[in-house]
């Protein structure tokens, strides 16, 4: 993902941003449409020149289809009214709807008001004809293209009785969607196929949507939609939840090159605002991907794309010049067709990437002399273990993705589908790309997932439809260490170290300026690290009068299973390279003093004080009575239930109102230990203590939704849109991980420093660990959830107007306002116990944050 100088970067969505308790965003959007829409998102704080430059730049490079109404996650709707030659509604007329690609043919009859509707239709080209028992002739429409989530609204009129002959009309979709109340962007198969996409990761294409940007998330870059946190999006594939329940991002996260063959995508829709009640679990936006299916024709594709350094450029001279060393090969195929014509179809897709690069070929550090000294010390002190520590690092980036899909037209009333998706990726030395960090601080990053989806779409009588979808998926993200082990040192007792065959060098950082780092990063090794998801969805649509109702239920059950040992192998922060060398060479009692002297006995001259070299040593461990091998082991469930109902009401021709209400409830995981048995049990009844020790569930999440479109004059030339609603996001499992276990009653974090050594005890030598299992917690770091914890909520309002000038040119102007509260954070700086009255509140008051006290729902502190 590339940022530009005119990037519309929203506020960052990082967990550790302590003061971000409320986001309020206003967006003004200007779009120009040239045959296919070209849109640019302009924050109102940007300059006009910058905006115009972006408009021009994007207009020259991007073609995006006009947005369509989002009325269903994976299918579309054809509805309308049948009239006779006098303009009166025709009841009991038969409307035949024929999907050309698969031969699916269904018949619905018009109601007493002449209305008809057919929901749950697959994307594709349709022919429709209408016949009536009153011998009115036949209406026939051909080449109607229906997109995912779109509602095609047709007024069909018989001509005079002499029209016994067939009337054939070639349809062309209106340039502006007259029923779309959302702010959304559609990327059809043709567009995805035609656009150059560096890396073939379809997620990058979401950046074509106005209001979508990127920022750094908890484990790499995340998408920000409408100014909201990246972890608040809902990424869906074929209507199934495609999110990681622990990190809150899309399945696979940011490290895999891709998780789908891009050519397997039939359509991708990004809804940045105004989604109807069917869509939930997001206060940001919705990314809806629908994969291709087989048809009556055998079709496929094969591709190869290669990049390597020989045909690429050097860095510019002021950046040091030189050519990066890399190579990347991507190859794959898609193939689909009929198993039984008009009845059963198959589709398969495969994509693979084999890539490598040399990173840190030159080390851009502030002090090359210190780096050289450290490098030389490591080579001398531990021969053969750090020979390549600060040399160039070879990094791989391999990926594979498989999709297999079967679709069945069981009969005119029922269609079924089964899909399997597998994705795998591995980056050797893919943990960091930091010039001052060594090879040993890199591990092997893996991600692989399996997902099985099934779906059944049924026509229930003449005006009712049912859709059932189910998913089971598992994702694993093991992270392995491949650096040196300490000779003769015993590893921590957790099972991850069995495969390493010894104790890795601890996580060691040093030097304020450069922050050199070697050894096992504290978040490795991760094994197991997996999550599973079971999802069940059922919804019913039915037509009555001018109302098309849809109601549904969704259930999610996720399980996170992992063992995160954190600082179990120890983490050292040294003030300098010399301090580190002195600590290793002269022993763990080595200290530096305020007068510049040092001592290997841990004693400074009278009148001076200890200043280093160990600024901080951290080690996580279980508490007495808990088996040490259970450190960081977790397996917890989260259950979610949602209900919704929505009505798409065609008030009159050209005026459509969408009203909906959604409710969501969540059962969060429980804590490990009964709060009454924890270290902080004496405080549970103290109103000043922010928590009752549990992780609150949240069931009070009612979300009204509103959408209105006005096709001015009914000519599809000018369309006015408005939407409003509330949206609740999830709280990822990562936020609760420490709340469940770090409570002083299960595990603890031991800390030492050179300064505190006379009180707390000496900092352990780097080849030793503190026996944490026998250490009674002292000032244990504890993590709790606020009593009033609630899901983040966004109130969103938007309005816009589109106008088609003809000849393939249209323009639009829209406004969006989004306000989010209940944002969670790790530390409540407004808490009086943290000195709010003296310092912190003064600062927060200046920023207005002090007025958001009820919005703060995550707290962490130490209680003496």
Partner 1 sequence: MDLFNITNADNFLDTALGSLLFNFDGSIRSGLGDTRRAQIGVKVRF
Q: Which residues bind partner 1 (CB under 8 A)?
A: 2-3, 16, 196, 198, 216, 218-221, 254-255, 299-307, 311-316, 319, 323-324, 330, 364, 431-437, 509-512, 514-515, 517, 521-523, 573, 615
Q: Shortest gap between Cβ of 79 and partner 1 (angstroms)?
A: 34
Q: Shortest gap between Cβ of 790 and partner 1 (angstroms)?
A: 27
Q: Shortest gap between Cβ of 837 and partner 1 (angstroms)?
A: 27
Q: Shortest gap between Cβ of 59 and partner 1 (angstroms)?
A: 16
Distance CA 819, CA 634 (A): 35
Tokens of 560: 């996170």
Q: Shortest gap between Cβ of 240 and partner 1 (angstroms)?
A: 26
Q: Shortest gap between Cβ of 509 and partner 1 (angstroms)?
A: 5
CB closer to partner 1, 255 vs 281 = 255
Q: Which helix (H) or strand (E) holds 381?
A: helix 368-381
CB closer to partner 1, 221 vs 716 = 221
CB closer to partner 1, 18 vs 387 = 18
CB closer to partner 1, 280 vs 336 = 336
- Whether the CA torsion 245, 247, 251, 252 is positive or negative: it is negative
Q: Shortest gap between Cβ of 437 and partner 1 (angstroms)?
A: 8
Q: Shortest gap between Cβ of 393 and partner 1 (angstroms)?
A: 12
Distance CA 274, CA 646 (A): 13
Distance CA 243, CA 816 (A): 26
Tokens of 655: 């005026």
CB closer to partner 1, 523 vs 797 = 523
**Closest of 97, 100, 173, 101 to residue 130, by C-alpha:** 97
The Cα-based distances of 852 to 23, 713, 726, 740, 830 in angstroms read 11, 46, 19, 27, 9
CB closer to partner 1, 303 vs 852 = 303
CB closer to partner 1, 98 vs 299 = 299
**Closest of 585, 590, 586 to residue 612, by C-alpha:** 590
Distance CA 441, CA 479 (A): 12
CB closer to partner 1, 406 vs 734 = 734
CB closer to partner 1, 510 vs 695 = 510
| CB 634 within 8 Å of CB 563 | yes
Tokens of 664: 């969501």
CB closer to partner 1, 315 vs 778 = 315
CA 187 from chain centre, in angstroms, equals 18
Q: Shortest gap between Cβ of 856 and partner 1 (angstroms)?
A: 22
CB closer to partner 1, 312 vs 411 = 312
Residue 675 carries which DSSP code?
A: G
Q: Shortest gap between Cβ of 54 and partner 1 (angstroms)?
A: 15
* 3-class secondary structure, 408: strand
Cβ density class 386-406: b for 16+ within 10 Å, e for less:
beebbeebebbbbbbbbbebb
CB closer to partner 1, 315 vs 699 = 315
Angle at 111 between CA 110 and CA 112, to 5 degrees: 125
Q: Shortest gap between Cβ of 315 and partner 1 (angstroms)?
A: 6
CB closer to partner 1, 16 vs 597 = 16
* 3-class secondary structure, 225: strand
| CB 215 within 8 Å of CB 224 | yes
| CB 289 within 8 Å of CB 382 | no
Residue 400 carries which DSSP code?
A: E
Q: Shortest gap between Cβ of 307 and partner 1 (angstroms)?
A: 5
Q: Give 372's Cβ-side CA count (13 Å radius).
A: 5
| CB 789 within 8 Å of CB 699 | no
Q: Shortest gap between Cβ of 403 and partner 1 (angstroms)?
A: 17
**Closest of 285, 269, 299 to residue 208, by C-alpha:** 269
Q: Give 462's Cβ-side CA count (13 Å radius).
A: 14
* 3-class secondary structure, 271: strand
CB closer to partner 1, 138 vs 435 = 435
* DSSP letter for each residue of 776-803: PPSS--EEEE-TT----EEEEEEEEEEE
Q: Which helix (H) or strand (E) holds 59?
A: helix 48-61
Q: Shortest gap between Cβ of 311 and partner 1 (angstroms)?
A: 4
Cβ density class 50-86: b for 16+ within 10 Å, e for less:
bbeebbeebeeebbbbbbbbbbbbbbbbbbbbbbbee
Distance CA 669, CA 692 (A): 15
CB closer to partner 1, 337 vs 495 = 337
Q: Shortest gap between Cβ of 534 and partner 1 (angstroms)?
A: 27
Q: Shortest gap between Cβ of 199 and partner 1 (angstroms)?
A: 9
CB closer to partner 1, 193 vs 788 = 193
CB closer to partner 1, 433 vs 585 = 433
CA dihedral 294, 295, 298, 303 (to 10 degrees): -50
Q: Shortest gap between Cβ of 717 and partner 1 (angstroms)?
A: 36
Distance CA 547, CA 156 (A): 18
Distance CA 620, CA 624 (A): 13
Q: What interhelical angle do 368-381 and 577-586 show, nearest 10? A: 20
């Amino acid at each position: 993902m590339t940022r530009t100088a005119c990037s519309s970067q929203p506020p960052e969505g990082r967990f550790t941003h302590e003061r971000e308790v409320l986001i309020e965003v206003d967006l003004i959007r200007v779009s120009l449409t040239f045959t296919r829409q070209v849109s640019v998102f302009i924050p109102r704080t940007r300059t006009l020149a910058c905006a115009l430059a972006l408009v021009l730049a994007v207009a020259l490079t991007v073609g995006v289809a006009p947005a369509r109404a989002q009325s269903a996650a994976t299918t579309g709707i054809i509805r309308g009214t049948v009239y006779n030659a006098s303009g009166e509604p025709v009841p009991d007329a038969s409307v035949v709807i024929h999907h050309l690609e698969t031969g699916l043919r269904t018949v619905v009859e018009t109601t007493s008001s002449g209305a008809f509707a057919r929901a749950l239709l697959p994307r594709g080209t349709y022919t429709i004809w209408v016949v009536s028992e009153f011998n009115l002739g036949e209406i026939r429409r051909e080449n109607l293209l229906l997109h995912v989530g779109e509602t095609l609204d047709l007024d069909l009129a018989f001509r005079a009785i002499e029209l016994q002959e067939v009337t054939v009309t070639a349809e062309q979709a209106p340039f502006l969607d007259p029923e779309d109340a959302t702010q959304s962007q559609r990327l059809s198969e043709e567009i995805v196929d035609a656009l150059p996409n560096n890396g073939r990761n379809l997620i990058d294409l979401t950046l074509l949507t106005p209001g979508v940007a990127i920022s750094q998330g908890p484990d790499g870059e995340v998408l920000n939609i409408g100014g909201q946190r990246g972890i608040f999006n809902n990424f869906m594939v074929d209507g199934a939840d495609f999110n990681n329940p622990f990190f809150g991002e899309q399945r696979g996260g940011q490290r895999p090159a891709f998780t789908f063959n891009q050519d397997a995508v039939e359509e991708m829709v990004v809804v940045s605002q105004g989604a109807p009640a069917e869509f939930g679990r997001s206060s940001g936006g919705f990314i809806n991907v629908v994969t291709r299916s087989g048809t009556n024709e055998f079709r496929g594709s094969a591709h190869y794309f290669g990049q390597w350094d020989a045909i690429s450029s050097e860095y510019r001279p002021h950046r040091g010049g030189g050519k990066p060393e890399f190579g990347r090969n991507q190859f794959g195929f898609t193939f689909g067709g009929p198993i039984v014509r008009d009845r059963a179809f198959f589709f398969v897709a495969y994509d693979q990437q084999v890539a490598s690069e040399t990173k840190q070929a030159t080390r851009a550090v502030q002090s090359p002399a210190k780096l050289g000294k450290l490098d030389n010390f490591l080579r001398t002190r531990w021969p053969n273990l750090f020979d390549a520590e600060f040399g160039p690092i070879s990094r791989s980036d391999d990926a594979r993705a498989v999709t297999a899909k079967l679709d069945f037209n069981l009969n005119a009333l029922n269609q079924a589908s089964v899909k399997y998706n597998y994705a795998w990726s591995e980056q050797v030395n893919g943990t960091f790309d930091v010039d001052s960090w060594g090879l040993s601080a890199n591990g092997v990053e893996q991600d692989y997932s399996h997902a099985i989806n099934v779906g059944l779409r049924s026509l229930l009588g003449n005006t009712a439809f049912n859709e059932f979808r189910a998913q089971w998926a598992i994702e694993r993200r093991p992270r392995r260490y491949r650096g040196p082990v300490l000779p003769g040192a015993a590893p921590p007792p957790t099972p991850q170290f069995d495969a390493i065959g010894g104790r890795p060098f601890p996580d060691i950082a040093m030097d304020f300026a450069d922050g050199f780092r070697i050894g096992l990063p504290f978040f490795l090794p991760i094994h197991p690290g997996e999550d599973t998801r079971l999802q069940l969805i059922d919804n019913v649509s039915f037509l009555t009068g001018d109302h098309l109702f849809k109601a549904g239920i969704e259930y999610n059950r996720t399980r996170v299973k992992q063992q995160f040992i954190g600082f179990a192998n120890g983490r050292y922060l040294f003030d300098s390279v010399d301090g580190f060398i002195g600590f290793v060479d002269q022993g763990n009692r080595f200290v530096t003093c305020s007068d510049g002297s040092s001592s290997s006995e841990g004693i400074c001259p009278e009148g001076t004080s200890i200043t280093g070299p160990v600024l901080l040593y951290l080690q996580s461990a279980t508490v007495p009575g808990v088996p040490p091998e259970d450190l960081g082991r977790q397996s917890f469930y989260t259950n979610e239930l949602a209900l919704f109902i929505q009505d798409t009401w065609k008030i009159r021709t050209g005026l459509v109102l969408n009203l909906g209400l959604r409710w969501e409830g969540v059962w969060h995981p429980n804590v490990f230990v009964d709060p009454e048995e924890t270290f902080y049990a004496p405080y549970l009844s103290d109103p000043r203590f922010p928590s009752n020790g549990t992780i609150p569930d949240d069931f009070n999440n009612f979300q009204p939704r509103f959408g209105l479109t006005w096709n001015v004059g009914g000519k599809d030339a000018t369309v006015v849109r408005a939407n409003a609603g509330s949206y609740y996001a999830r709280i990822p499992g990562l936020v609760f991980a420490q709340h469940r276990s770090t409570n002083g009653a299960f595990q603890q974090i031991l800390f030492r420093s050179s300064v505190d050594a006379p009180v707390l005890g000496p900092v352990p030598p780097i080849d030793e660990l503190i026996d944490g299992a026998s250490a009674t917690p002292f000032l244990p770091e504890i993590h709790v959830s606020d009593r009033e914890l609630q899901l983040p909520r966004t109130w969103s309002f938007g309005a816009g107007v589109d106008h088609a000038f003809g000849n393939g040119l249209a323009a639009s102007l829209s406004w969006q306002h989004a306000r989010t509260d209940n944002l969670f954070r790790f530390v409540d700086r407004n808490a009086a116990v943290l000195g709010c009255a003296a310092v912190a509140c003064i600062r927060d008051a200046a920023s207005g944050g002090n007025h958001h006290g009820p919005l703060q729902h995550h707290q962490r502190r130490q209680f003496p």
